[in-house]
Amino acid sequence: MSDGGSAFTRRTHTCGELRLEHVGQRVTLNGWVHTTRDHSHFVFGDLRDRYGLTQVFFGDGDAKLLADAQSLRPEDVVAVSGVVRARPAENVNAERPTGQVELAADRLEILNRSRTPPFSIRDDATVSEEVRLKYRYLDLRRPQMQRNLLFRHQFMQAIRNDFTRQGFVEVETPFLTKATPEGAREYFVPSRLYPGHCYALPQSPQIFKQLLMVAGYDKYFQIARCMRDEDLRADRQPEFTQLDLEMSFPDEELIFATVESAIAHAIETATGAKVPRPFRRITWGESMLRYGCDKPDLRNALQIEDVSAEAKGSDFKIFRGAVDAGGVLRALRVPGGEALSRKEIEGLEGRAKELGAKGLAWSKIDASGKPVGGVAKGLEDAAGKALLAKLGAAPGDLLLFVADRLKVACAALAEVRRQLGERFGGVKKGTLELCWVVEFPLFEYDEDEKAWKAAHHPFTTPIEQYPGQIVKEPGAVAARAYDLVMNGWELGSGSIRIHDRALQQRVFEAVGLSEEAAQRKFGFMLEAFEYGAPPHGGIGIGLDRLIALLLEAENIREVIAFPKTATATCLMTGAPTLADERAMRDLKIRFELPPAP
């Protein structure tokens, strides 16, 4: 058979495989030249593939072989054949699994030369992310990245296995679908057959999975790609992977138990760590009060306290003023916090101010239990004493206060608490704390549009205190919505859905969606719900984030093979590119671009 000259000796083993037990065997390795050490009369080479490194010895009198070996450069691709031999005892490399042996080469096939790579393929190479992304295929050769992607694969496999074991069916849903104007901005795909019409790429498979429930697939899951045309962050990419699932006839407990099983199984399979179950539960209200946010890091023992009632009787202007203006006074007691310097406290105050706080008041508690420094004077009156008592202030404490609007006070103290977590809150790297945050509000007030809108999505079941509450006081209605949170990161979000057509209509009305508009946007779904929609609910969990957290990566780009930059470009391919004129003609699209500078 003609092979175009590309015949080569196929490997018998990988570069991570050879041990003393192979000594004496004739083997062939295929791989990349990692390094060479040229000693003139002989050459050592390290051959690399994704399984490991094996030392190859060239020499032993064959001049042609030696010359070829001397010509080898990093990242050349070769096939090397020879006999495995034990290294002399003094030359064993104990740091490598293959370090007991080496391959005494008698044949070297250079399969492909490499240009000098822009950086060396090693974990300890310091390379800017920009360069790494441009040469992503080289970056992915680094052992760390190979470990990351392998870990990701194992994690995904374990999830699929556990859902399959639990009787779930993985169903693929369309990429080319109908735009749903609520929620995240969508990517559009123009239709050639229907000029002026567009498909949208799904921001999530939400509607399809609910229709699968109507279709009777009572346990659905999918490892699904989602696309959102929003601005990016370290933990957000324009396309990302969700573990999406939906169940019929559920309650929260069934969904929690199902998800906990799969997530715990996957974490245990991929990391070997034991994940305690059930996960902790905390209501949204409690979380906002104690931790100032809806994604608490429960490893952190520090807790926020509301001392607005005490502030009311205070003579201290900063405390009292905020409460009189309809705001709150919230405090964070930091045991041992007296060790913080003035400068460190100012650093925290800087962060608090970035988040909109007017300031960060503080006082330390001295050995006799008296407040000293900062706003200590404001704590001397009766109200101050009551406040200290409520906080349980003890010698060595640092007390931090934010007097502000509720939202600002929460955000500022949440950030301060987060920053102090490792030093004073007992947060340890490498530990996991998963929890469910439950009973989210159903609606949020949109200040810009002066209207209530769905906090999760408009298919979420309300928990009405009395009939009609969603119209009379929408802000007070809780929802059967829940978030999965790990170490202070939101992993996923879900709810028990509305399956009743009339209730769905009332919720649409509450968010200002008329019958007509609802029909236009979701008519096919509402119609489906008239054919026997079972009660159902589910969740979507961001897998990139979860995997990044487990690998202690700073950034989800570290666990995505070909990620985009913070400005949604691909440095390797150059995407996005200017539209091709002819393709645009086919699509009957013309762009109006601002004039070039």
Partner RNA sequence: GGGGGUGUAGCUCAGCUGGUUUAGAGCGCCAGCCUGUCACGUUGGAGGUCGUGGGUUCAAGUCCCAUCACCCUCGCCA
What residues line the site for RNA (CB under 7 A)?
Answer: 35, 37-42, 44, 46, 55, 57, 59, 73-74, 87-88, 90-93, 95-96, 99, 102, 116, 118-120, 124-131, 133, 180, 182-185, 203-204, 206, 228, 230-236, 354-355, 444, 453-458, 555, 557, 565-567, 569, 571
Residue pair 564/237 in contact (Cβ under 8 Å)? The answer is yes
Residue among 304 and 511 whose Cβ is closer to RNA: 511
Shortest Å distance, C-beta 260 to RNA: 22
For residue 64, the minimal CB distance to RNA (Å) is: 16
Rounded CA-CA distance 507/308 in Å is 34
What's the min distance (Å) between Cβ of 11 and RNA?
20
Residue 573, both tokens: 């391919």
Q: How far is the CB of 162 from RNA (least distance, A)?
A: 24
Tokens at 46, concatenated: 């390290």
Residue 83: Cβ-neighbour burial (10 angstroms; 0-12, 13-18, 19+): middle
CB of 486 vs RNA, minimal distance in Å: 16
Shortest Å, Cβ 450 to RNA = 13
Cβ proximity to RNA: between 98 and 314 the closer is: 98
Q: For RNA, give the closer residue by CB, 183 or 359.
A: 183
> Least Å distance between CB 220 and RNA?
15
Complex with RNA: residue 118 or 369, whichever CB lies closer: 118
**C-beta atoms surrounding 205 within 10 Å:** 26
The nearer residue to RNA, 308 or 565, going by C-beta atoms, is: 565
Question: Given the complex with RNA, which of 267 and 541 has the nearer CB atom?
Answer: 541
Cα separation, 240 vs 180, in Å, equals 18
The b-or-e profile of 382-415 (16+ CB within 10 A means b, else e) is ebbebbbeebebeebbbbbbbbbbeebbbbbbbb
CB 529, min distance to RNA, A = 16
How far apart are the C-alpha atoms of 495 and 497, rounded to whole Å?
6
With DSSP H G I counted as helix, E B as strand and the rest as coil, what are the percentages for the chain, rounded to 5? 35, 25, 40
Shortest distance (Å) from residue 415 CB to RNA: 8
- DSSP string spanning 366-401? -TTS-EESTTGGGGSSHHHHHHHHHHT--TT-EEEE
How far apart CA 523 and CA 530 sit, in angstroms, is 11
Smaller CB distance to RNA: residue 204 or 363? 204
List the Cα angle 564/568/573 in 5-degree steps: 55
Contact 510, 519 (CB under 8 A): no
Q: Which is nearer to RNA, 158 or 507 (CB)?
A: 507
In the bound state with RNA, the residue whose beta carbon lies nearer, of 244 and 305, is: 244
For the chain, how many residues are written? 597
Rg (the chain; Cα; Å): 31
Pick between residue 67 and residue 389 the one whose CB is nearest to RNA. Answer: 67
Q: Which is nearer to RNA, 331 or 539 (CB)?
A: 539
Structure tokens at 594: 């601002």
Q: Are 184 and 507 in contact (CB under 8 A)?
A: no
- The nearest distance, CB 386 to RNA, in angstroms, is 33
Q: Taking Cα atoms as reference points, which of 381, 370, 402, 359 lies closest to residue 314? A: 381
What single-letter DSSP state applies at residue 193? S
Asked whether the bond before 117 is cis by omega within 30 degrees of 0, the reply is no
Shortest distance, CB of residue 140 to RNA, whole angstroms?
Answer: 16
